[in-house]
Structure 1
Amino acid sequence: MTRLSRYFSWLLLGGLGLSLLLPQSSALAANQIVNQQTELSSGDLIRGVAYPSVYYLGADGLRYVFPNEKTYRTWYSDFSTVKQISDDQLGQIQIGGNVTYKPGMKMVKINTDPKTYAVAPGGYLHWIENENLATTIFGTDWPNQIDDIPDAFFTNYHLGASLNDASSYQLNNVRLATVDVNHDKSLTAPAIFTITHAGYSPIDLHIPLGQSIRFVNQDTSQHTATADDLSWGSGTLAPNAEFVHTFTSEGTYTFFDSYNSRHTGAVYVTPKN
């Protein structure tokens, strides 16, 4: 067993695949933070106390899972910037999805498909049609730059057009265009509704498709943000609790407070710019 292999173990999170774990020595040395609230910023790498899985904190306020070590290593060389936060604080941050390979760092394939793909921003995969093209883009060492992706994680990606010309995938440009996960996933800061005894503020918001909304309970009482058609909802929000939601299609989305149905609001999702 290699030295690197001894350092890592993996944790199965039901329905979420495998998330990356810190070296056990780091986990044992970590301070036991119980209820402390750590100041966080978009782009932070975070982990809890009970389970040392590492997540990326997106600009949309959600945390993103690294499916495995190989994915993590395309973005980071070590764990020196990981912040430990309390399990309670971690649990308040919703999961937004899985991190995909950093574009331009590796080619990928799956065991059940002989095709080799180049990774582009947004998790798009482009089939490299022949070996000569792979050599032109990735060099003569290209066979050693291919990683196998488990079939279960292949659904995190999108299939794009195949590549038959190196000019359509210039390696340096691809790498420079995606400096972090926020850029790769086009994540932006959410629009915010605050909730108080007087209701929602503002009453409505217009947002482009892809932008999230965040509800923040600034009252001393419990509240909710519940869709009129019950298709989505925050559940009970205790004082200071937050809820983030992302709409997947354009339209008008109305909602109400289950604790006071006279308090209503709306989100108007418009085409993405």
Structure 2
Amino acid sequence: MAGRVEGKVALVTGGASGIGRGCAEKLAKEGAAVLVTDLQDAMGEEVAAAIRSAGGKAAYRHHDVTSEEAWIEAVAAAKSEFGRLDILVNNAGIGIGGSVLDMTLADFRRQVAVNVDGVFLGVKHAIPLMRQGGGGSIINMSSVAGLKGAAILAGYCATKGAVRLFTKAVALECANAKDGIRVNSVHPGIIETPIWDTIVGTGEPGDNARPPRPQMLDAMSLEGVPLGVKGYPEDIANGVLWLASDESRYVTGAELVIDGGLSVK
């Protein structure tokens, strides 16, 4: 039986680890050829190699999502490597925790550059190639922090809220153009990924004296998530796969919340 995205070509940013890796592997398993991009070259190459070893199609490219030139080159690489572009997963993102009173302007702007500028540039440069192929699916990674506020995450919330509404605006633009491109956002909750290390520290000796990340996220989820458990990258990848596939052909401008009920509280 053919995979759910058989014959499609995907570009996944931040694909070397965490949610990005989960999405790249899931899409490849379901038949897509995947261009994995990241700044972590050794890890990104390993992801692409693992996909190929499992029988899938994948390539890796170094990619700074804050650079317009890098985006032009990445989209061109997808075309030269695989001939087209059907799926864009704008996943690359960072989070810097801390009081708004202590956050530097440089840290705030860095989050905007990666989380917002990176999504804008990806959308801008992917759409023309998708239109050449008759359409596609753009999936922008927001967060539950794009739906509700969170103490010590003002900068991160600001960027993820921006991604949410930017997604809706572009969805309407593409719908008005009748170009066959759907644009949706995904909103993860507490997911076991390395991004938490930059938000709350690594849990190493002397680093905020907190437990290691897995145990900390378990405790946070037990206390704050209605389902009582944290999520994993595959939980998000399953939602991304659905939005990337033709099964969601009538879905655009939507928010897919995958958070164990966290945003309901």
Name the TM tier (shorter chain): under 0.3
Query: Higher Cα Rg: structure 1 or 2?
Result: 1
Higher helix share: 2
Larger RCO (CA within 8 A; separation ≥ 6) = 2
TM-score by length of 1: 0.26
TM-score by length of 2: 0.27
